[in-house]
A and B are shown apart, each in its own frame.
Chain A
Amino acid sequence: MNGILEIAKWKDLIRNLVLKNLRIRYKGSALGFLWTMLNPMFMMFIYFIFITLLRIEIDLPSLLVGILAWQYFVMCLSDSVSAITAHPSLIKRTSFPRIVFPLSMVLANLINFLFSLIVLALFLAVYSLLFSYTIQLGPAVLLLPAVILLQTALVMGFACFFACCNVYFKDIEHIMSILLLAWFFLTPIMYRLEMVRDRAGQFFNLYLLNPMVPVVTLYRFVFLGIPPPLSPVFLISCLSSFLILAGGVAIFLKYEMNFADVI
């Protein structure tokens, strides 16, 4: 508990590392930080072109909402494996709380994600005007900060866990990409949730326990007004994000003292 409160003392360092993280990502490129906006813009444009050209039966807005949320998740998890192992000299030579590393990594990804949400909002506005696509915007929009918080708790929990694991087992790096691929298909991004509900039967509740299911469906509720499949299991799945955060942080704090010996 002390460790968590102590974090406030290191806000200068966290800010420093977040900024460094963001700067390095686009270092040397002519457009620099603008890429944070350009990237999702081009991505959405390409999806739009191909899905329209190929006449794929898919709801473009909900696909894009899913993909953006997924990208935030993927960036954090794949960055997490190297969050500690990429800084051996800092780990060996300094004494600040190690959780600063995964935290600043997640915050940097969060900032990127927030920028992509701005692009998404613009895209949706244009799309609904051009294609008379009705978006039922309601008070659900007010839930956006809560949903972002939910997902951030989830990715922070996992980031702490995997950052710590990779110090001890280098294989995590390689397992991660496979894990993420499977996870992608277990999350309703390329398909609609109803499809699973209709076909999975009793396994649907098990499917709902994937904490990314509530995250993605809640974003769709916020941006597109598509109601989430509220059920007790769904709520448990939401809560599990916070359990994962608590567990990940606890494991991280237990092992952080030994990073310097092993790394």
Chain B
Amino acid sequence: MKAIEAINLGKRFRLRHSGLPTLKDRFIDTVKRRRGSEDFWALRNINFAVETGETVGVIGPNGSGKSTLLSIIASTMAPTTGRVITRGRLASLLELGAGFHPDLTGRENIFLNGAIMGIPRKMIEERFESIVDFSGLGHFIETPIKFYSSGMVVRLGFSIAIEVDPDILLVDEVLAVGDQDFQKKSSRRIQWMKETGKTLLVVSHDMGTIKRFCDRVIHLQKGEICEEGVPAGVVDNYIQSAVKLPPGLGKIAGWGTMEAVIRKVEFPGAAGNETPTFTTGRDLVVEIEYLASKRIENPVFGYAIHTPDFQLCVGSNTQIDGCRVDRIEGEGVIKLSLPALPLLGGHYLLSLSIHSQDHNTNYHRQDYTYPFDVFSPAGREGIVNTPSRWEFLPDGG
């Protein structure tokens, strides 16, 4: 049976140039026969179905319509064309704790949130203990949630959503909820739901999760489905399509506010024609040419290296490494070196970013954008090159 069915789904947004319309605006627009708004199709011609018990991932660059799709399936938004049919109780982890009231206690908010989700009060009463249990809030449940930390609020929201035993679960990057223990607990619970035949629709930027977790993947590009199929194939093609855009040549790969962009990246000292190739134990140097269209105080440059199956090998930034960048404005170059590269031979993906100190603003992020190869002369296997020494002591020392 189909748990989720999207038929010819489309969503059009009217982008207004200045906030909400007033009567005057409407009047002037009508008189002047102009439209004070522009149409933007966030989704178009979306057709797909998710079978009961299936786990389907949705991937795509930012602004490709992933969140809009989830909002329509969760019916917080109405589609402009087509429709969505869902079968069974649906819970969404998109909007954890929607409608929580700060003055009410955790207990009262559980009931309010349940009411907002349309869950019968009796069912909430039955599940109350396990909700509190899973959230790990203990006696804080009788405290108004305005005294909670943000992590506690999210934990409570997650616990309600997951404890009401939904048939369909919509997941949007939630595996990053709460502290590490809670993250482990919640991803175990989601795994368990998958195993017990629940239907899951997962949106994530973490290709590793998508590959491990999903039975099928839908790749959205500019509001349309551009590929659908087994995770490995679709994810690889997605990465390829993201890499293909030549950086610095008009179009710039990646996403962010673009107030500062990574314009050009060079690998001096690298061998190889198409893919830069480095050698284990030698220096890896990356020269990043940036362009800041405005003055940015205390930006942070970061990098990460992943394996092709999205295992993070290393990630760091100027803040962690103690390189002071007081401000950037206009063009400039920043140089990243990994002395005596401790990676073993293989294929890797380099991600680069410029973001604010608090990580809240991403000026430019290029995820998995720069593939490179590492050549290992020695016969060691794996990812990490660590010197290993053996001592043969046949007589037991």
Q: Name A's B-contacting residues (CB within 8 A).
A: 9-10, 12-13, 15-16, 20, 27, 89-90, 92-96, 168-171, 257-258, 260-262
Contact = CB atoms under 8 A, between A and B. Distances in A.
A18 B95 CA distance: 23
A171 B252 CA distance: 42
B77 A168 contact: no
B22 A16 contact: no
Contacts of A94: 76, 95, 98-99, 116-117
Interface string B85-118: 0000000001100110101000000011011111
A169 B98 contact: no
A93 B20 CA distance: 19
Given A96-B118, A262-B14, 4 more contacts: A13-B115, A20-B101, A94-B117, A261-B77
A260 B95 contact: no
A13 B120 CA distance: 10
B22 A170 contact: yes
Given A13-B115, A169-B23, A92 B14 contact: no
Given A90-B98, A94-B99, A12 B115 contact: yes
A93 B92 CA distance: 10
Contacts of A16: 111-112, 115
22 contacts: A10-B115, A12-B115, A12-B121, A13-B116, A15-B115, A89-B98, A92-B76, A93-B95, A94-B76, A94-B116, A95-B75, A96-B116, A96-B117, A168-B20, A170-B20, A170-B21, A170-B22, A258-B78, A260-B71, A260-B78, A261-B77, A262-B14
B24 interface: yes
Contacts of B99: 89-90, 93-94
B26 interface: yes
A105 to B, nearest CB: 16
A260 B67 CA distance: 14
Contact of A168 (B21, B24, B71, B120): B21
B13 interface: yes
Nearest to B74: A95
Given A16-B115, A95-B74, A261 B98 contact: no
Contacts of B23: 169, 171
B21 to A, nearest CB: 7
A93 B99 CA distance: 8
Contacts of A10: 115, 118
Contacts of B111: 12, 16
B81 to A, nearest CB: 13
A108 B297 CA distance: 51
B127 to A, nearest CB: 15
B336 to A, nearest CB: 40
Given A90-B99, A95-B75, A261-B13, A9 B22 contact: no
Nearest to B14: A261
